Amino acid sequence: MALHNAETFVVMDRADHRHIDPAYEYAFIKAPMTFVTAEPYIGHLGLGGVGDSKGILESGMRDKHIKWICNAKVSKVEAGKMFVTEHDEMGVEKKKHELPFNYSMMLPAFKGVDAVFGIEGLVQARGFVIVGKHQRNPKYKNVFAVSVCVPIPPVEATPIPVGTPKTGYMIESMVTATVYNIHADLTGTPADTEATWNAVCLADFGDSGVAFVAIPQIPPRNVNWFSEGKWVHLAKIAFEKYFIRKMKKGNSEPFYEGSILKMMGIEKLK
């Protein structure tokens, strides 16, 4: 899409948006824009930062002529105009912005599905399914939950609440633990398999990208690595083709994949 003389806005707002990386991917492959985020700083990612994510992403945004506003909430949106309130480090209102745009995109806060919303003991206030460390609901023992429908508390207090993201590998670890625990239930053995919740991510910016590994995802971490470069873009393309091939063959984790990741200290189960 050609955007002529346009201010484009990518907005993340509220605590329960569960994956910040796509907003950065979107921002880096579009026209000059203003990036509005609830994060306390660029590169927080809902993880308290990973490696030098702050410095690398700020530098990348400057290179792309992307302005940003952090600690922000969207007050309202009108035709061609977005109203944003910026806050200081204490969460006190600092400045109001009226941002004209020709094109805008928002990542809204997530909530649970209507089918289970409001069931006491099954879901919390926003409808996310409550689970213990084995992905099982503590009240309804036959209910397991994985992925975005599971609530994860923020990794730290921030002026504007920022949700903790769920990366693909982290979700795979949840699913793997759940499968083992359901199998254990069916065979009458202890269902005590626990997911690692490690974060591994490739974010593609079109002609470049960033990659990070956070082990575990919730600090304190044993691995806290963040990198950038053209190689990430190429790696993301290769991974997509590899992943689709795996799914077509019905093999979610070939032995060589598990072996390589294990050598890197990345595992799905504790």
> In 3D, which of 191, 189, 216, 213 has the Cα closest to residue 203?
213
Using the predicted structure, report yes or no on whether residue 112 has a pLDDT greater than 70.
yes
DSSP character at residue 1: -
Q: Which long-range contacts (CB under 8 A, 24 or more apart) does 62-65 make?
A: 64/27, 64/28, 64/32, 65/32
Bridge-partner residues for 202, per DSSP? 211
Show me where the domains of the chain are located: 8-107, 147-263
Q: Judge whether 176 and 268 are in contact, CB under 8 Å.
A: yes
Q: Which pLDDT band, with edges at 50, 70 and 90, does 2 fall under? A: very low
| Architecture of the domain defined by 8-107 | 3-Layer(bba) Sandwich (3.50)
148-191 pLDDT, tens digit per residue, is: 899 988 889 999 988 888 888 999 999 999 999 999 999 999 99
Q: What is the pLDDT of residue 33?
A: 84
Q: Which pLDDT band, with edges at 50, 70 and 90, does 9 fall under? A: low
244-264 pLDDT, tens digit per residue, is: 999 999 988 899 998 999 888
Between the alpha carbon of residue 198 and those of residues 32, 171, 240, 268, the distances in Å are 33, 9, 20, 7
Using the predicted structure, report yes or no on whether residue 13 has a pLDDT greater than 70.
no
